[in-house]
Every structure is written in structure tokens, then in C-alpha cells.
Structure 1
Amino acid sequence: MKYINLNQLPIKSVSHNLNIQKKTIIEKDNIPHLTNFSQAIFKSGQIATNHSHKDMWEVFFVESGRGIIKINGEEFLLEKGLYVIVEPKENHEIINNSQEDLIINYFGIAS
């Protein structure tokens, strides 16, 4: 069993933009096939640059705020309550183009 308080987790940087902060709730290898479960906070104007994952699905849940996710060059609105599933090899980029924090909970699943 794991009993985790988000407020007690250390703050780290997102690998695609070291200025974006995250807290990793579940690390790789703690649960089979789960690569991570994290919460990222994008300040106004911050971008997780365009990238893809060869063998990982990513699921994003917007907890609060607004922004944009680009998937293979197509833009989609991010807003509170939305889920987005990005498949392996899909190029994706997350942009906070609003004045408020964009808070996203996300996890990856190895394919």
C-alpha cells in the first residue's frame, strides 16, 4: 500500500521545460507498465516543447486553468475537466497561453 500526500512531495522539473514544476506521485517501476503519475503546474506562457514517446501512451487531465495542446500540429483547447490521450509516436506540445496557472495531472503507460 502507498498513502501519499501531494503537499509533501518534492518539486521537480518537467523534462521538456526545466522551468515547469511538477510533483511525481508515482515513479516508474512502482506499478507495472505505469511510467509515472504526476502533476505539472504551467505558469502563464510556459510550454512543454514538441516531443513524442516511442513506446508510451500519455493521459492528461486538466485540473484547472486553460491552455492548448498541439497533437501532430493540430491545436486543441485545454480547460478544466478535459482528458486527452496521446498515443505513442504522436508529437505533442502543451502551451499555457492564459494568465492563470494551468494544472495538469498526467500519467504514462508503456506500450
Structure 2
Amino acid sequence: MNAAVKNAIESALIALVVAAACIWLLASGDDLSEFKTVMFGAGIAAAGVAHLFFMTQAIKQSGREPLRWVALMVLTMPIGSAIALAILVSEARKNGSAQQAG
């Protein structure tokens, strides 16, 4: 796998972990103040934007056209990202096995 693609995918997954942590803290809080609610909401939004940015970078580095993929990810948020990640990882594995064989 290309190092730039790998770094972008890892960063996108870390952004998803941050978003999941914010959602978990927001959902599990019993007495959340308005400030905490706004901050967790901002954390979710920032992590979502970071995830899209890093996924766009991974798609660009893999040589694909990013506009269609970003539109797919935005319109079908969790499913589009999962599809893009699966395609990028399977392509990297295919290229890695071809390089080892050759």
C-alpha cells in the first residue's frame, strides 16, 4: 500500500473514532449542560469534516477521481465511506500481492 494512502486512511479512521467518542459521551451524559452539548456537537461535526478530508486525500493518492467518491460519501455517509475504504484496501492488497509475485 502506498504510504500516503495508508496515512490518509489511518487519519480518516482516527477521525471516526473521535466522532464515535463524542457521540458516546453525548448519548451517555445524564446531566449535560448546554455548553457540553454544543461542544460535543461541534466535535462530531469537526470529526466528520476531517474524515471526509482524509478520505478525499486517500482517494486522490490512489489515482481515482475524488468528486464522485466525495459525493457518494456525503450522500450516504456511513455506507459510502465504508465502500470507499473497502475498495481502497482491497486494491492495495491486490497491488501488494502482485508486487510480491512479480
* Larger fraction in strand: 1
TM-score (norm 1): 0.23
* Larger fraction in helix: 2
Larger gyration radius, structure 1 or structure 2: 2
